[in-house]
Chains A and B, each alone.
Chain A
Amino acid sequence: MKSILPVLTVILAVLLIWVVAVVPMNIHLTADQAQRDGLVVTPDTAIARQEFSGIGLAIKNPRLIPLTYVGKRPNLPSPHQIATEIYDTVFGKKITSKRSLVYHGWVTLAPTLLGFVIGTVLGIILAVGIVFSRVMDKSVMPWAIVSQTIPILALAPMIIVVLGAAGVQGVLPKSIIAAYLSFFPVVVGMVKGLRSPDAMQLDLLRTYNASNNQGYWKLRLPSSTPYLFASLKIGISASLIGTIVAELPTGAKAGFGARMLVGDQYGQPILAWAALFAAAITAAALVGIISMIERGTLRQMGMKST
């Protein structure tokens, strides 16, 4: 409960800045529209108004300020417009409808989860290989790092086109891009975790004449658990970003990424912003779920969460 107050304070500050910023961001558009609707605006031509800053124009036309919050196609939608849009598209539509945000959310969530599972399994397997084999350490690790330096935005359409040509469609191509982003933090975290037992712990096992296998199952794997969870939290949000990126350049018809793209291309910023916020809320929820599992698991294991 103690953590609620600072979080709320930050949210409130952000909202305040946002609400204030809406006026200068939208005032020019609002003035143009108001003039078309027959209201008196000073100065009375759009070109003359361009000479004024957003704040200056708002001071000249205080009556227009309330209208900046309700424009249909604002530069910066106001918070309540986004909230209303999210509410309408989450609760106001049947979830099978193409206009339902829940529908689009699931279209994005399914490949996110699948990609996260693929990435995590792959990451753990690679990490185990890297820790146990010097050859893999030398050969795989540099490539894992290089893989993350390639802009995913450039890579995603290639992967989808190549997979599409190979007949793979649907959830899987997006999952692969999600996995591509999420395996890396798991590899790094697990390698660190599997190497975390100190020299004394390893010596103790040597005094028992324990095999490498026994050392792995009894010491290294349990020791790596806190590191794994830290990685999973990064991995799941990377997965979601990967899926959305995969939706952007490929003309996807559904999903958060498609909604953002449609909103931008057809001049419906409220729609794009709603999708953006829905994606952020989804990511927060996913990370929250993993945090809860982490806390429970580590408490069970007598460890504190990192």
Chain B
Amino acid sequence: MTQNTTIKAEGLHLTFDTNDGPVHALQDVNLEVEKGDFVSFIGPSGCGKTTFLRCIAGLETPTSGNISVNGMTPDEARRARAYGYVFQAAGLYPWRTIGGNIRLPLEIMGFSKSEMAERIARVLELVDLSGFDKKFPWQLSGGMQQRASIARALAFDAEILLMDEPFGALDEIVRDHLNEQLLQLWARTEKTICFVTHSIPEAVYLSTKIVVMSPRPGRISDVIESTLPKERPLEIRDSPEFIAIAQRVRDGLRAGHGYD
């Protein structure tokens, strides 16, 4: 393990026992994520991308194999609050204001009042929602709610950000905008981001590393290191380089489907 390895999975297996027999959600998954990487997990439903993210978060326990997060077990990392997790739904509490929602993890972790206020202001500014802290979730659009949930995940300064299809429920225009903002945020905060998505352009646009997964059993079929520069305007999606990477992702997905 190098100094910079943040997440390392070796020979990871995870089997769910269901009424229809065992389901191999993950089979022999090996992956290293370096500090500061932006890693996307892409694949069809049932390929285990969300399951793998949940393994990193310590929300699922692998059946066998090793996984370490910041040199700890995922459960230790969870207890050390090593990561922020963004779900597909914003999941803001309707009875709390936006500021109150961002305060939730800070209250649980026991930050001081003044530090809470300072952090809330800082992360709201990061997701471009300054001035919305007194608003209630229903007063915000879906995209703004999702940004607030990202702010909530950033508030306690975890090094790692785990995002499970955070923009999956949003329309494409809003999604483009949020992708752009997410890249800026990543550049400013230098976090390690693991990002689950269904969308090839989203994965290629955002990532330094694209992990292509395939289902039944869930496994990694290709890992693509992106050659795109760190500075990425939206127009980069029309460049030949971008299209070539997208092509490789598409091939990987198709190869994975060949098994069933």
- Residues on A facing B (Cβ under 8 Å): 200-201, 203-210, 214, 218-219, 222, 225, 300-303
The 7 closest A-B pairs by CB, nearest first: A301-B95, A302-B94, A207-B85, A302-B136, A210-B108, A208-B105, A208-B108
Inter-chain CA distance A204–B81, complex, in Å, is: 12
28 A-B pairs with C-beta separation under 8 A: A200-B87, A200-B91, A203-B85, A204-B87, A205-B108, A206-B59, A207-B83, A207-B84, A208-B81, A208-B104, A208-B108, A208-B109, A208-B156, A209-B79, A209-B108, A214-B107, A214-B108, A218-B104, A218-B108, A222-B93, A222-B95, A225-B95, A300-B95, A301-B95, A302-B95, A302-B96, A302-B136, A302-B138
Asked if B137 is an interface residue, CB under 8 A from chain A, the answer is yes
Closest A residue to B107 by CB, please name it.
A218
A203 & B95 in contact (Cβ 8 Å cutoff): no
Inter-chain CA distance A180–B97, complex, in Å, is: 39
Shortest CB-to-CB span from A218 to chain B, Å, is 7
In the complex, which of the residues B58, B83, B91 has the most CB atoms of chain A within 10 Å of its own CB atom?
A: B91
Q: Given known contacts A204-B87, A206-B78, what 12 new A-B pairs fall within 8 Å (CB)?
A: A201-B91, A203-B87, A204-B91, A207-B57, A208-B108, A208-B109, A214-B107, A214-B108, A219-B93, A301-B94, A302-B95, A303-B95
Asked if B89 is an interface residue, CB under 8 A from chain A, the answer is yes
Chain A positions within 8 Å of B83 at CB level: 207
Chain B, interface size category, equals 20 to 34
Closest B residue to A203 by CB, please name it.
B59
A207 & B59 in contact (Cβ 8 Å cutoff): yes
Inter-chain CA distance A197–B94, complex, in Å, is: 12
Shortest CB-to-CB span from A207 to chain B, Å, is 4
Shortest CB-to-CB span from B127 to chain A, Å, is 17
Q: Which of B88-114 contact A (CB under 8 A)?
A: 88-89, 91, 93-96, 104-105, 107-109
Chain B positions within 8 Å of A222 at CB level: 93, 95
Shortest CB-to-CB span from B242 to chain A, Å, is 33
Chain A positions within 8 Å of B57 at CB level: 207
Closest B residue to A201 by CB, please name it.
B91
Inter-chain CA distance A206–B59, complex, in Å, is: 8
Closest B residue to A210 by CB, please name it.
B108
In the complex, which of the residues B58, B81, B91, B93 has the most CB atoms of chain A within 10 Å of its own CB atom?
A: B93
Chain B positions within 8 Å of A214 at CB level: 107-108
Mask for B59-88, Cβ within 8 A of A = 1, else 0?
100000000000000000011010111011
Shortest CB-to-CB span from A186 to chain B, Å, is 20
Inter-chain CA distance A301–B136, complex, in Å, is: 9
Shortest CB-to-CB span from B160 to chain A, Å, is 11
Chain B positions within 8 Å of A301 at CB level: 94-95
Are A200 and B108 also in contact (CB < 8 A) when A207-B59, A209-B79 are? no
Closest B residue to A225 by CB, please name it.
B95
Chain A positions within 8 Å of B108 at CB level: 205, 208-210, 214, 218
Chain A positions within 8 Å of B81 at CB level: 208-209
Shortest CB-to-CB span from A21 to chain B, Å, is 49
Shortest CB-to-CB span from A135 to chain B, Å, is 26
Chain B positions within 8 Å of A219 at CB level: 93
Mask for B137-163, Cβ within 8 A of A = 1, else 0?
110000000000000000010000000
Shortest CB-to-CB span from A204 to chain B, Å, is 6
Inter-chain CA distance A225–B94, complex, in Å, is: 12
A204 & B85 in contact (Cβ 8 Å cutoff): yes
Chain A positions within 8 Å of B95 at CB level: 222, 225, 300-303
Chain B positions within 8 Å of A203 at CB level: 59, 85, 87
Inter-chain CA distance A108–B78, complex, in Å, is: 56
B78 & A209 in contact (Cβ 8 Å cutoff): yes
Inter-chain CA distance A214–B110, complex, in Å, is: 11
Shortest CB-to-CB span from A122 to chain B, Å, is 25
Shortest CB-to-CB span from A249 to chain B, Å, is 45
Inter-chain CA distance A220–B109, complex, in Å, is: 18
Chain A positions within 8 Å of B109 at CB level: 208
Shortest CB-to-CB span from B161 to chain A, Å, is 11
Inter-chain CA distance A112–B59, complex, in Å, is: 48
Shortest CB-to-CB span from B76 to chain A, Å, is 10
Residue in B78, B88, B138 whose CB lies within 8 Å of A207? B78
Chain A positions within 8 Å of B94 at CB level: 301-303
Closest B residue to A202 by CB, please name it.
B59
B138 & A200 in contact (Cβ 8 Å cutoff): no
Q: Which of B155-197 contact A (CB under 8 A)?
A: 156
Chain B positions within 8 Å of A201 at CB level: 91
Shortest CB-to-CB span from A199 to chain B, Å, is 10
Shortest CB-to-CB span from A222 to chain B, Å, is 5
Inter-chain CA distance A301–B97, complex, in Å, is: 9
Shortest CB-to-CB span from B77 to chain A, Å, is 10
Shortest CB-to-CB span from A267 to chain B, Å, is 56
